[in-house]
A and B are shown apart, each in its own frame.
Chain A
Amino acid sequence: MNLTLHVWRQQGPSAPGRLVTYQAKDVSPDQSFLEMLDGLNEELISRGEEPVAFDHDCREGICGSCGVVINGVAHGPEQTTTCQLHMRSFKDGDEIVIEPWRADPFPVIRDLMVDRSAFDRIIAAGGYVSINTGSAPEANGIPVRKEDADMAFDSATCIGCGACVAACKNASAMLFTSAKVAQLARLPQGQVERKRRVLNMVEQMDKEGFGNCSNYQECEAVCPKQISTQNIAVMNREYLRASLSGA
């Protein structure tokens, strides 16, 4: 099939950006979205033009590197990662607008590539269990109810892609932050630092300039890992409890 692409091109964080139109010819429905962009880039390089910059690595939907806004929807129409989106979701003659995540805490680096290091700083503020290598007790000495382990796992599957922020009108990072808070709050290992963790992570999140949650649920709707907004409810509860009792 043949497609018309309108791709956001921007040289750097402070340079102006604009949509540039390209034709993608002979695209096969079995190709992935990124393979379609690879094809465009091969052509651009051959013509001596700079390829479109976008982040990607695993191309299996697990590393969280990839992510662009496709026709106004983060990761496009299938609620999966951009790398797992296939061209069979489009049809011949379609026009596709491709833009980067748009959120102040995620400044554009180049074209479709943004800086998501704010997420790393949120985790650094407390998204862990403080246990040094070597001091762990016997693994089966800490029994965990299967239900708790499963729920913790569901929260832990977040890949940190940032689609939740990109989809939110307020650019809120609540889904991302709450997934880690909820995972560790659910497990016995996370109890000791439970209060401090939520306070510090939320403080960092605010410091990075992410907005508040107004329950639009857009984040959940685009999350490729189906992280539930229930995590946000858990985090709010945890936060309230921690601020009332003091860490």
Chain B
Amino acid sequence: MKVLEETLNARIPSGPLDQKWTRHQGELKLVSPNNKRKYTVIVVGTGLAGGSAAATLAELGYNVRSFCYQDSARRAHSIAAQGGINACKNYQNDGDSVRRFFYDTIKGGDFRSREANVYRLTELSTNIIDQCVAQGVPFAREYGGTLANRSFGGAQVSRTFYARGQTGQQLLLGCYQAMMRQVNAGKITLHPRTEMLDLVVANGRAIGIITRNLVTGQIEKHCADAVVLATGGYGNVFYLSTNAKGCNVTATFRAYRQGAYFANPCYTQIHPTCIPPHGEHQSKLTLMSESLRNDGRVWVPKKPGDRRPPDQIPDEERDYYLERLYPSYGNLAPRDIASRAAKRVVDEGRGVGPTGVGVYLDFRDAIRRLGEQNIAARYGNLFDMYQRITDENPYKVPMRIYPASHYTMGGLWVDYNLMSNIPGLFVIGEANFSDHGANRLGASALLQGLVDGYFVLPYTIGDYFARFKKLDATTDHPEFDQAEARVKDRIRTLLSINGRRTPDSFHRQLGQLVWDKCGMSRNADGLREAIAKIPEIRQEFWENVKVVGTGEDLNISLEQAGRVADFIELAELMCRDALAREESCGGHFREEHQTEDGEALRDDERFCHVSCWKSNGPDADPDLIIEPLAFENVQLVTRSYK
């Protein structure tokens, strides 16, 4: 591994923290209203980030081309978010403020995020609620007609806005409807069932993408004045995750191969409350919203191997381990901490359920206190979902939960303007690395997607247009032909192998390896083993994968194979990053670096930085570039939730 001397300019504005964004906005260059219509922007992704960006850019007058792999923009993975969205409105008068939200986010991210970005995120959070309410998003309300809030995952104030257990759905439909209004106005062209397979870079600037029409198989070239990637996270690298089945890393990974830096790939979030896997046919894992931890109590038997049914285990023989270990946060301890604690008790042989991989989330006491009816009003749909999947009634028997891959903090590197190191390539939402450091707070991903798309990118993209000379937006550049040739070659190769193993079987194998070696806890030996093993999987994949059908047609096994191929390469990068980061922070837990009582041990001397990886192609080691993190407004302290 080579560490390059290069300095990355994050373009963080000067001045006091609380004035940076306002000042910056005043200094950003503008494109005049009449000129905006001369610019075309490609937005890949229609989740909260891509949807809000596409709608807002179109409202401003830009021409937008919007891409997604689903049959409709409304189905992006954001739709599945359950719990809520944070904003420091302080409606509950419980002492919330931008400053407090800022601090909670910085601390939650274990001091591995940029102060300026986080401050902007929290500062703009209040505008997001205004915007969504004005669109008709039916957030939960109090009887007086005002908006309701709840406290969520590791926050001591109630700053989470929600729409029953379907917040993501309601927010996304708001975005989607705003987009459809612009489709109607002729400002957005939709390209559903279309997958981006490569990025086109000419003269150092992003000028377009290559896509495959998933119905006809046609490979198409699209040029534009700027490309925005809003393609979500890479949690499916673990195969089993709470992400939608189609979530993939292809768009961002192909951009990485074209020169965009990948930042902190080892920062992945394992969510503590998912339904445990049941068997080998399992295709995905289902999240049980973290809001359940407001009323459910997490426990396992004190004795290892205690197989008695839960109602026969008396209270004295139960270990409410989160309450015991973290008395001030209890069951609401942050995700990474709650997940590792669950892993620890399961590793001790105290896990529950048929596989022994699981812990209880028990509502007995809450039902006694509040009555079944109130619990049903709060969590009814989640309880129903749990029952449908497991065939167990959580009003009577405690839920069983276990951590699962959920979110990825790592992603393409961007500066304060959300632009990658390739001018003209912007990255927003979960696809970038920007705001959550080493661990994301619950209910802040929806926020980030919307802040990026509604209120940041639409300003900063104009600055790019105003500062850089306008290029001819045509597909005549030879780089388009080269990119198209790369894509076609790869498809041809995949179709010609005709081996014996399905793409899915490689994905499962890879997922298990990454989960074991680069999951909830990691160590140098395991990571080295994975780094040696992954190229073997890659080699076998390219010799033995079976893809049926042709390229010029709808072809599911070809789609899968392309995505798995990219996950294999990404997995190696993740492990390299995890090996290089010789400390524990947030979701990245290195067993060699822990305190006596098993908590994460950061090394601020050596690792208070963003690790940015530069590709040298699939067969050479990537180089590392470091962006140091400067903390001017908070003191780095050990993150304690005791």
Q: Which residues of A contact B (CB under 8 A)?
A: 28, 30-32, 34-35, 38-39, 41-42, 44-46, 48-51, 53, 55-65, 78, 80, 84, 86, 88, 109-110, 113, 115-117, 119-120, 123-125, 127-140, 142-146, 149-150, 152-153, 156-157, 159-160, 183-184, 187, 189-190
| Residues A149 and B141 in contact, CB atoms below 8 Å apart | yes
In the bound complex, how far is the Cα of B138 from the Cα of A144, in angstroms? 9
B375 CB–A CB distance under 8 Å: no
In the bound complex, how far is the Cα of B281 from the Cα of A35, in angstroms? 7
| Residues B455 and A45 in contact, CB atoms below 8 Å apart | no
> In angstroms, how far is the closest chain A Cβ from the Cβ of B212?
15
Among B91-132, those with CB < 8 Å from A are: 91, 127, 129-132
With A63-B244, A84-B388: A45-B557 Cβ-Cβ less than 8 Å: yes
With A30-B279, A46-B502, A145-B145: A51-B177 Cβ-Cβ less than 8 Å: no
In the bound complex, how far is the Cα of B46 from the Cα of A49, in angstroms? 33
| Residues A152 and B183 in contact, CB atoms below 8 Å apart | no
| Residues A124 and B184 in contact, CB atoms below 8 Å apart | yes
B16 CB–A CB distance under 8 Å: no
| Residues B180 and A120 in contact, CB atoms below 8 Å apart | yes
Cβ of A48: which chain B residues have Cβ within 8 Å of it? Answer: 546, 548
| Residues A124 and B130 in contact, CB atoms below 8 Å apart | no
In the bound complex, how far is the Cα of B283 from the Cα of A42, in angstroms? 12
With A132-B59, A183-B136: A58-B79 Cβ-Cβ less than 8 Å: yes
Which of B168-176, B301-309, B512-520, B586-594 touches A? B168-176
B147 CB–A CB distance under 8 Å: yes
Q: What number of A-B contacts does a CB cutoff of 8 Å give?
A: 217
Contact of A88 among B76, B244, B391 (CB under 8 A): B391
Cβ of B215: which chain A residues have Cβ within 8 Å of it? Answer: 109-110
List the 4 closest A-B pairs by CB distance, nearest first.
A143-B145, A128-B177, A136-B134, A153-B138
Contact of B130 among A42, A137, A160 (CB under 8 A): A137
- B249-291: CB near A (< 8 Å → 1, else 0) gives 0000000000000000000000000000011011110110000
Cβ of A149: which chain B residues have Cβ within 8 Å of it? Answer: 138-141
Which of B29-37, B65-73, B470-478, B599-607 touches A? B65-73
Cβ of B132: which chain A residues have Cβ within 8 Å of it? Answer: 139
Nearest opposing residue in chain B for A157, CB measure: B166
| Residues B190 and A32 in contact, CB atoms below 8 Å apart | no
With A109-B215, A149-B141, A153-B164: A59-B245 Cβ-Cβ less than 8 Å: yes
> In angstroms, how far is the closest chain A Cβ from the Cβ of B515?
19
> In angstroms, how far is the closest chain B Cβ from the Cβ of A194?
12
B399 CB–A CB distance under 8 Å: no
B616 CB–A CB distance under 8 Å: no
With A28-B281, A46-B502, A133-B131: A84-B70 Cβ-Cβ less than 8 Å: no
Nearest opposing residue in chain A for B188, CB measure: A124
With A124-B183, A128-B181, A143-B146: A57-B245 Cβ-Cβ less than 8 Å: yes
Give the bracket for the number of chain B residues in contact with chain A.
35 or more
B554 CB–A CB distance under 8 Å: yes
With A63-B80, A125-B184, A152-B138: A139-B147 Cβ-Cβ less than 8 Å: yes
Cβ of B139: which chain A residues have Cβ within 8 Å of it? Answer: 149
Cβ of B397: which chain A residues have Cβ within 8 Å of it? Answer: none
Nearest opposing residue in chain A for B243, CB measure: A58
Cβ of B505: which chain A residues have Cβ within 8 Å of it? Answer: 42
B504 CB–A CB distance under 8 Å: yes
In the bound complex, how far is the Cα of B495 from the Cα of A48, in angstroms? 12
Residue picked from B147, B168, B245, B546, most chain A C-beta under 10 Å = B245
Cβ of B181: which chain A residues have Cβ within 8 Å of it? Answer: 124, 128, 130
Instruction: Other than A110-B554, A129-B177, A153-B163, give 15 A-B pairs with Cβ distance below 8 A.
Output: A31-B281, A35-B281, A42-B502, A42-B504, A59-B283, A64-B72, A65-B71, A80-B388, A116-B72, A120-B74, A133-B59, A136-B130, A146-B143, A152-B136, A189-B136
| Residues A115 and B281 in contact, CB atoms below 8 Å apart | no
Contact of B133 among A61, A150, A189 (CB under 8 A): A189
Cβ of B482: which chain A residues have Cβ within 8 Å of it? Answer: none
With A42-B502, A56-B245, A140-B147: A157-B184 Cβ-Cβ less than 8 Å: no
> In angstroms, how far is the closest chain A Cβ from the Cβ of B537?
18
| Residues B385 and A38 in contact, CB atoms below 8 Å apart | no
In the bound complex, how far is the Cα of B599 from the Cα of A129, in angstroms? 49
Cβ of A187: which chain B residues have Cβ within 8 Å of it? Answer: 136, 138
Nearest opposing residue in chain B for A80, CB measure: B388
Cβ of A51: which chain B residues have Cβ within 8 Å of it? Answer: 548, 556-557
Cβ of B385: which chain A residues have Cβ within 8 Å of it? Answer: 60-61, 84
> In angstroms, how far is the closest chain A Cβ from the Cβ of B594?
34
Among B41-90, those with CB < 8 Å from A are: 52, 55-56, 59, 70-77, 79-80, 89
| Residues A131 and B135 in contact, CB atoms below 8 Å apart | yes
- B338-353: CB near A (< 8 Å → 1, else 0) gives 0000000000000000
B327 CB–A CB distance under 8 Å: no
B371 CB–A CB distance under 8 Å: no
In the bound complex, how far is the Cα of B142 from the Cα of A41, in angstroms? 49
Nearest opposing residue in chain B for A160, CB measure: B74
Nearest opposing residue in chain B for A110, CB measure: B554
Among B431-475, those with CB < 8 Å from A are: 454-455, 458
| Residues B141 and A144 in contact, CB atoms below 8 Å apart | yes
Cβ of B59: which chain A residues have Cβ within 8 Å of it? Answer: 132-133
| Residues A136 and B548 in contact, CB atoms below 8 Å apart | no
Nearest opposing residue in chain A for B135, CB measure: A129
Contact of B75 among A59, A64, A150 (CB under 8 A): A64
In the bound complex, how far is the Cα of B181 from the Cα of A117, in angstroms? 15
| Residues A58 and B77 in contact, CB atoms below 8 Å apart | yes
Among B348-400, those with CB < 8 Å from A are: 385, 388-389, 391
In the bound complex, how far is the Cα of B246 from the Cα of A146, in angstroms? 37
| Residues A117 and B141 in contact, CB atoms below 8 Å apart | no
In the bound complex, how far is the Cα of B282 from the Cα of A76, in angstroms? 20
B178 CB–A CB distance under 8 Å: yes
B144 CB–A CB distance under 8 Å: yes
Residue picked from A84, A131, A183, most chain B C-beta under 10 Å = A131
In the bound complex, how far is the Cα of B405 from the Cα of A29, in angstroms? 25
With A109-B215, A129-B134, A189-B134: A63-B70 Cβ-Cβ less than 8 Å: yes
| Residues A62 and B166 in contact, CB atoms below 8 Å apart | yes
Contact of B144 among A32, A62, A64, A143 (CB under 8 A): A143
Cβ of A150: which chain B residues have Cβ within 8 Å of it? Answer: 138, 141
In the bound complex, how far is the Cα of B348 from the Cα of A118, in angstroms? 54
B192 CB–A CB distance under 8 Å: yes
In the bound complex, how far is the Cα of B116 from the Cα of A47, in angstroms? 55
B549 CB–A CB distance under 8 Å: yes
> In angstroms, how far is the closest chain A Cβ from the Cβ of B554?
5
Cβ of B168: which chain A residues have Cβ within 8 Å of it? Answer: 62
| Residues A139 and B129 in contact, CB atoms below 8 Å apart | yes
> In angstroms, how far is the closest chain B Cβ from the Cβ of A120?
5
Cβ of A80: which chain B residues have Cβ within 8 Å of it? Answer: 388
In the bound complex, how far is the Cα of B141 from the Cα of A143, in angstroms? 9
In the bound complex, how far is the Cα of B136 from the Cα of A119, in angstroms? 19
Cβ of B129: which chain A residues have Cβ within 8 Å of it? Answer: 139
Nearest opposing residue in chain B for A29, CB measure: B391
Cβ of B287: which chain A residues have Cβ within 8 Å of it? Answer: 60
In the bound complex, how far is the Cα of B142 from the Cα of A59, in angstroms? 32
| Residues B138 and A120 in contact, CB atoms below 8 Å apart | no
| Residues A140 and B548 in contact, CB atoms below 8 Å apart | no
Cβ of A41: which chain B residues have Cβ within 8 Å of it? Answer: 556
Cβ of B244: which chain A residues have Cβ within 8 Å of it? Answer: 57-59, 63
Cβ of B89: which chain A residues have Cβ within 8 Å of it? Answer: 139-140
Residue picked from B72, B129, B163, B282, most chain A C-beta under 10 Å = B72
In the bound complex, how far is the Cα of B199 from the Cα of A166, in angstroms? 39
Cβ of A59: which chain B residues have Cβ within 8 Å of it? Answer: 244-245, 283-284, 286
> In angstroms, how far is the closest chain B Cβ from the Cβ of A110?
5
| Residues B281 and A38 in contact, CB atoms below 8 Å apart | yes
